[in-house]
Amino acid sequence: MTSVANSKPDLESLRAAAQQDIRQLRSEISQLDQPSIDLILERARSHYAWQDRPVTKQQISRMYDIVKMGSTSMNSCPARFIFVQSKEGKEKLAKSVKPTNLPKLMGAPLTVIIGYDVEFWRELLKLFPHEDRRGHFSDKPQHAEVTAFRNSTLQGGYLMMAARAIGLDVGAMSGFSNAVVDEEFFAGTTTKSNFLCNIGYADESALFQRLPRFEFDEACKFA
């Protein structure tokens, strides 16, 4: 068995490498330029209609490779993604959505179910190997679910920005029945649905004017 003392040099070298990597990153780029910020957030729009162009498996894989590097609490990574492209998958998912959302769903080349595993903590030794944090959640199911929901929502946001970053458009949806999605896609598992997101190449002719936002003083305070 490897002793704690013997494992310290490895841990220290990993930390040193991580610190050097972030210093190197900051030396290469300190911030995004304005067009990049526009693309992923500031001028980006939610879309409701889609061109008849597929999203490839390579694009899906690339999105996930970006998403998986986003921060989550204790590196818990509780989100679970189902990428729905098939006719059969769309028909199952269609059972859950409100009528007004049906054309958005069926017209999109890809709809992602962002779910969360309420027993994510079972994988913490793999994802957070330097300390066993499973006891923080194993006998606290409500705390585990809140943590999973919160962090899967973060990961869903990362997915939306990742899609935009690689040239795709997105349209998140919450007008659906979580219970139906859970029954159709997650029955017999410890995963529950959070929200849906359509991804593809937008048909901009369906856009309307950008809606108002709060100004800083309306939404923000200092303390």
- For 115-129, what is each residue's pLDDT tens digit? 999 999 999 999 999
Q: What integer pLDDT is reported at residue 189 of this predicted model?
A: 98
**pLDDT by residue (tens digit) across 176-196?**
999 999 999 999 999 999 999
Q: Quote the pTM value.
A: 0.93
Fold topology of 33-205? NADH Oxidase (3.40.109)
Domain ranges for the chain, please list them: 1-30, 33-205
Q: What is the pLDDT of residues 55-80, one digit of tens each?
A: 999 999 999 999 999 999 999 999 99
Model confidence at 13: pLDDT above 50: yes
Q: For position 91, what pLDDT does the model report?
A: 97
pLDDT (0 to 100) of residue 45: 97
The per-residue pLDDT for 3 is: 45
Identify the pLDDT of residue 8: 53
Q: What is the mean pLDDT of the chain?
A: 95
Q: Residue 6: is its pLDDT beyond 80?
A: no
**DSSP string over the chain:** ---HHHHHHHHHHHHHHHHHHHHHHHHH-SS--HHHHIIIIIS--B---B-S-PPPHHHHHHHHHHHTTS--GGG---EEEEEE-SHHHHHHHHTTB-GGGHHHHHHSSEEEEEEEETTGGGGHHHHSTTS--GGGTTT-HHHHHHHHHHHHHHHHHHHHHHHHHTT-EEEEE--B-HHHHHHHHSTTSSEEEEEEEEEE-B-GGG--PPPP---HHHH----
